[in-house]
Amino acid sequence: MENKDLGSTAIQKPPMEKTQPKKLQIALKEKTAEVNNFLTSIADLILFVVRVVRETFSRGFEFNEFLHQCFQIGYKSLPLISITGAIMGLVLTIQSRPILVDFGAVSMLPGMVTISLIREMGPVITALICAGKIGSGMGAELGSMKVTEQIDAMEVSSTNPMRFLVVTRILAATLMIPLLILYADFMGILGCWLGANIKGEVPFVLFIGQAFGHVHFSDLFPAVIKSFFFGGVIGLVGCYKGYNAGRGTESVGIAANSAVVSASFWVIIIDMIAVQITDMLL
Amino acid sequence: MKNETTEMDIKNDTVPATSAKAVIEISNLVKSFGKSEILTDLSLSLYDNENLVVLGKSGTGKSVLIKCIVGLLPSDSGIISVFGKNVLDLNSKELNDLRQKIGFLFQSGALYDSMTVKQNLEFPLRRIKKDLNEAEIAEKVNEVLENVGLADALNKMPSELSGGMRKRISLARTIIVDPLIMLYDEPTTGLDPITSDEISSLIIDVQKKYKTSSIIITHDINCAIKTANRVIMLKGGKVYQEGSVESFQKSTDEEITAFFKLN
């Protein structure tokens, strides 16, 4: 009888009115910590941007390293951008053709695909690919340099790691990604021509005439401008995540992963803003 | 009991035999990370052409100490005087100028993975000794590689090197700019006893050849015995004991005997 009483005492729950405020307090603390972390990371990012801008315009620009990064980002991405660009144009053509045939507007196909590529598909898809390839590369490389004390070693060698590693990468990405986007557009148009020739024969000169007959300066200009922002944000986010990686090897993976996710997110956000501005102005 | 060295004997042994001047003088150094105070009121001196070994358990702030000296970590308070200049008062240009006189051997070696051995060695040389021409740079690179016994590693990538080779190349990269002070962060950690002994010999060679003053952070008692002119043991973020290797070996202090015997 005694044991039964003890058992019932053991599983007796504390009164609800006492546990509820405690749970609320814990939840409130957690939320406050989350908000604090978020605000701290925003402040860190702003300070990082300010430092990048200051170092960019200070004396002693690392020109050789900048050229090296242009080569790494630009030239070494060409095979990937060539294939994805061409496939983008080919797929767009194959998908759009049946609908245009139904409307009897198949002659509009090259122009429609070209405008789609130049205005939206080329910049956004190429930027997302670059966020994956270049952003993650920067995050992982700088992250591992941080973990293995290479950044500290650079600093004690009287070299400003911010200027040598970060500024050069961000500027190279800002310059090279727009060029890669233009190249992807070109490959996409070639892919479109291939697609147009799968069911029928379209001479190249006629195709180019039809493709660029509908393209105006107002299609190209906003796309090029937003490409520079895509490049800048991919470089900035990749470097920020890598440069501020933690101390363990796990941090390298986290830096690379969050560089891709954040850079892709910002590419989409910038694209949305650019589209709104273009729509208002043109 | 007569042979046992007391704490007083150790303290009396701290002043170097020669009346050498101090190249580093640290007074009342405090460094915290958040609420955890790593260095609490630490004071020490490094004398000219001396090898000072700093011993202590993990987490006693040994690496933090040398990172504060070179300005990689900002200290909370205290004075770190290097060649008479307080590191905490220097602007970035003055700090860079001072760093050119200090060599830092990192625990991991910290070789630049994307560069060959040659490029790794040329990197600090081209930035610090800007007046050297290509022939002089090549000569200097070959000289330091021969000094560390790795003349044939010139075009290798760091990933192709063993742990001991990485440490040697890292040492070569540090001494290539003729530093006056060397800071070694656990130079023999992770190496086999033979390679550790070779690295310890290299540390002595560097001291003799380049006339450097060094702080050597280590857990390796053999390295300490071989390289030290003077030993300091840290505990609780401050200097616990100070003396010669012999006095430490003869000490009856439990902390010291445990450290020496377990090694």
**Which residues in chain A land under pLDDT 70?**
1-19
Looking at chain B, which residue has its C-alpha nearest residue A146? Answer: B110
Residues A52 and A79 in one domain: no
- Is residue B188 within 8 A of residue B226, CB to CB? The reply is no
Owner of token pair 């090549």: B138
pLDDT tens profile A209-263: 999 998 899 899 999 999 999 999 999 999 999 999 988 888 999 999 999 999 9
Q: Which residues contact B119 (CB under 8 A, 6 or more apart)?
A: B112
Q: Which of B63, B113, B120, B161 to mutate to test the interface with A (most CBs of A within 10 A)?
A: B113
Listing from the earlier edge strand, what are the strands of the sheet with B36-47? B36-47, B22-33, B77-82, B85-86
Residue that finishes a domain, picked among A38, A57, A76: A57
A48 is in which domain, residue-wise? 1-57
Q: Which fold has domain B47-71+99-261?
A: Rossmann fold (3.40.50)
Q: Which of A69, A72, A149, A252 to mutate to test the interface with B (most CBs of B within 10 A)?
A: A149
The one-letter amino acid at B13: D
The answer to whether the CB atoms of A150 and B113 lie below 8 A apart is yes
Looking at chain A, which residue has its C-alpha nearest residue B99? Answer: A156
Residues A106 and A233 in one domain: yes
Per-residue pLDDT of chain B (263 residues; tens, 9 = 90+): 334 444 434 443 444 545 678 899 999 999 999 888 899 889 999 999 999 999 988 888 899 999 999 999 999 999 999 999 999 899 988 999 999 999 999 988 899 999 999 999 999 999 888 888 999 999 999 999 988 888 888 999 999 998 889 998 999 999 999 999 999 999 988 888 888 898 899 999 989 988 999 999 998 888 999 999 999 999 888 898 899 888 888 888 887 887 776 65
CA dihedral for B88, B92, B95, B99, sign (positive or negative):
positive
Total of domains in chain A? 2
pLDDT at A16: 60
Read out DSSP for B25-69? EEEEEEEEETTEEEEEEEEEEEETT-EEEEE--TTSSHHHHHHHH
Residue that finishes a domain, picked among A33, A57, A81: A57
Which of A141, A145, A159 has the CB atom closest to B127's CB atom?
Answer: A159
Reported pTM: 0.83
Both tokens assigned to B10: 């150790």
Cα separation, B62 vs B189, in Å, equals: 14
Residues A23 and A161 in one domain: no
Owner of token pair 């800007």: B130
Q: Which residues pair with A265 in a beta bridge?
A: none
Other residues' Cβ atoms within 10 Å of the Cβ of residue A246: 13
Q: Is B36 on the interface with A (CB under 8 A)?
A: no
Residue that finishes a domain, picked among A18, A35, A57: A57
pLDDT at B13: 43
pLDDT at A158: 85
Kindly state the DSSP code that residue B177 receives in the 8-state scheme.
T
Angle at A179 between CA A68 and CA A129, to 5 degrees: 85
Other residues' Cβ atoms within 10 Å of the Cβ of residue B209: 10
The answer to whether the CB atoms of B108 and A148 lie below 8 A apart is yes
The answer to whether the CB atoms of A156 and B114 lie below 8 A apart is no
Residues A167 and A45 in one domain: no
The one-letter amino acid at B169: I
Looking at chain B, which residue has its C-alpha nearest residue A153? Answer: B110
Q: What is the nearest CA distance from A240 to chain B, expressed in angstroms?
A: 19
ipTM for the predicted complex: 0.84
**How far is residue A217 from each of residues A16, A175, A213, A270, measured CA to CA in Å?**
69, 21, 12, 21
The answer to whether the CB atoms of B70 and A156 lie below 8 A apart is yes
Residues A94 and A228 in one domain: yes
Looking at chain B, which residue has its C-alpha nearest residue A151? Answer: B110
**How far is residue B198 from each of residues A118, B6, B189, B195, measured CA to CA in Å?**
63, 33, 13, 5
Residues A141 and A36 in one domain: no
